[in-house]
């Protein structure tokens, strides 16, 4: 009996030693792996590239959204939803849908088969909570909630949305249901009227060729550096543009509204340049939750001679790292230099956990 108890104790001691050795080995392996990840530049992480698509690739998404979109730069499938149902007045200006009241969503496909969706929905204060609940039920993130206008009536909010996964149609379904909770009207052709402004003077001041877009004149610029969101490279123009819209008010005057996309060290320089030129600051905030480098957006409002406003905007733009994004979105069959490889090395700033 005593020998049996000794054998049991010996067996238990042996098993305990085995467990300790196993745990120790596991800890040693995980510690070594962690050390290896830190030792390799960037931890061996790579960022996944977007791949080219055509409008036909997004047919099911278009069907769910209830309207056709455009493919920009051969990669970004963009659809807009102007809030022409709203009559919003700010500082005596009746704000057109093209100036500041346009909802939009963009879809991008990646080399690993996933799709990223980003967008911005214009909602009234009465619509905001039900839209928020609808987005949450569909697993669509809200990455920002704020204003794009100073004092205005009725109250309008802008909620930025984000989703990433393998089912683009499901994302589109969530967006469509959220929009159905608003007064967003059915699709109709854009306003083809050319804006009664000195557009050549605006182009010369801005250093780019703008475009007539839904009743306004628009100039757009994109960040030059690589922007990575959660390990995925954002193609130029997705979530990283400075966009300026001019609405004609008569006699060469315009209301200008839009936002600058900037990194931290550029923020104060842009704010000062705008105020020196008499342009009002509306908001300073983020649109995304996890992009690298971290991006900030400065929204503004101005009413003056259109060319003078353009010169002020250009002075602020000159302290940011952007390049002209060209005119309105359009489809191209291919993109020069587009990579179909599964990934690239992350930029140094994107290696931070």
pLDDT tens column, 148-189? 999 999 999 999 999 999 999 999 999 999 999 999 999 988
Q: Distance of CA 278 to CAs 67, 275, 300, 302, 305, Å? A: 39, 5, 11, 7, 12
Instruction: Write down the pLDDT at residue 62.
Output: 98
Tell me which of 22 and 288 has the higher pLDDT. 288
Q: By mean pLDDT, which of 21-25, 69-73, 116-120 is the weakest?
A: 21-25
Per-residue 3-state assignment (H helix, E strand, C coil) for the chain: CHHHHHHHHHHHHHHHHHHHHHHHHHHHHHHHHHHHHHHCHHHHCEEECECCCCHHHHHHHHHHHCCCCEEECCCEEEEEEECCCCCEEECCEEECHHHHCEEEEEEEEECCCCEEEEEEEEEEHHHHHHHHHHHHHCCCEEEEEECCCCCEECCEEEEEEEEEECCHHHHHHHHHHHHHCCCCCCCCCCCCCCCCCCHHHHHHHHCCCCEEECCEEEEEEEECCCEEECCEEECCCCCCEEEEEEEEEECCEEEEEEEEEECHHHHHHHHHHHHHCCCEEEEEECCCCCEECCCEEEEEEEEEEHHHHHHHHHHHHCCCCEEECCCCCCCCCCCCCCCCCCCEECCHHHHCC
- Give the number of other Cβ atoms within 10 Å of residue 263's Cβ: 15
Between CA 173 and CA 161 the distance in angstroms is: 13
Q: How confident is the model at residue 192 (pLDDT cuts 50, 70, 90)?
A: confident
Residue showing tokens 């467990």: 19
Q: Which residue has the tokens 């004092």?
A: 151
Can you tell me the distance from the alpha carbon of 165 to that of 183, in angstroms, rounded to the nearest whole number? 28
Q: Give the per-residue pLDDT at 235.
A: 97
pLDDT digits (tens, 9 = 90+) for 258-281: 999 999 999 999 999 999 999 999
pTM (two decimals): 0.81
pLDDT class of 193 with cuts at 50, 70, 90: confident
**Confidence check: pLDDT of 71 > 70:** yes
Q: For residues 132 and 121, is the Cβ–Cβ distance under 8 A?
A: no
Residue 189's pLDDT is what? Answer: 85
**How much is the mean pLDDT over the chain?**
84
User: pLDDT tens for residues 134-144?
Assistant: 999 999 999 99
pLDDT for 82-129, tens place per residue?
999 999 999 999 999 999 999 999 999 999 999 999 999 999 999 999
For residue 20, pLDDT beyond 90: no
- Lowest-confidence region among 42-51, 66-75, 240-249, 328-337: 328-337
pLDDT of residue 26: 34
């Amino acid at each position: 009996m005593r020998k049996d108890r000794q054998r049991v104790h010996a067996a238990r001691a042996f098993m305990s030693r085995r467990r300790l050795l196993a745990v120790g080995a596991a800890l040693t392996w995980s510690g070594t792996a962690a050390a290896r990840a830190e030792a390799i530049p960037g931890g061996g992480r790579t960022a996944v590239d977007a791949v080219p698509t055509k409008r036909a690739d997004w047919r099911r998404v278009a069907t769910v959204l209830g309207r056709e979109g455009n493919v920009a730069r051969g990669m970004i499938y963009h659809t807009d939803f102007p809030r022409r149902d709203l009559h919003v007045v700010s500082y005596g200006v009746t704000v057109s849908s093209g100036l500041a009241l346009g909802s939009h969503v963009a879809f991008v496909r990646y080399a690993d088969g996933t799709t990223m969706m980003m967008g911005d929905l214009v909602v009234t204060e009465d619509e905001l909570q039900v839209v928020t609940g609808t987005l949450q039920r569909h697993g669509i993130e809200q990455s920002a909630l704020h204003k794009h206008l100073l004092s205005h009536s009725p109250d309008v909010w802008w909620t930025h949305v984000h989703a990433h996964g393998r089912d683009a149609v499901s994302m589109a379904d969530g967006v469509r249901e959220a929009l159905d909770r608003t007064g967003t009207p059915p699709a109709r052709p854009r306003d083809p009227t050319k804006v009664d402004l000195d557009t050549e003077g605006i182009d010369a001041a801005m250093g780019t060729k703008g475009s007539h877009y839904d009743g306004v004149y628009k100039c757009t610029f994109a960040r030059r550096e690589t922007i990575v969101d959660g390990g995925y490279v954002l193609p130029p123009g997705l979530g990283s543009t400075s966009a300026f819209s001019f609405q004609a008010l008569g006699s060469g005057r315009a209301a200008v509204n839009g936002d600058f996309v900037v990194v931290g060290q550029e923020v104060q320089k842009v704010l000062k340049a705008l105020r020196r030129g008499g342009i009002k600051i509306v908001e300073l905030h983020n649109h995304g939750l996890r992009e690298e480098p971290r991006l900030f957006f400065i929204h503004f409002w101005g009413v003056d001679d259109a060319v003078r406003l353009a010169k002020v905007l250009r002075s602020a733009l000159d302290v940011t790292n952007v390049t002209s994004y060209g005119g309105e979105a359009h489809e191209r069959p291919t993109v020069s230099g587009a990579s179909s490889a599964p990934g690239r090395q992350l930029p140094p700033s994107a290696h931070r956990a």
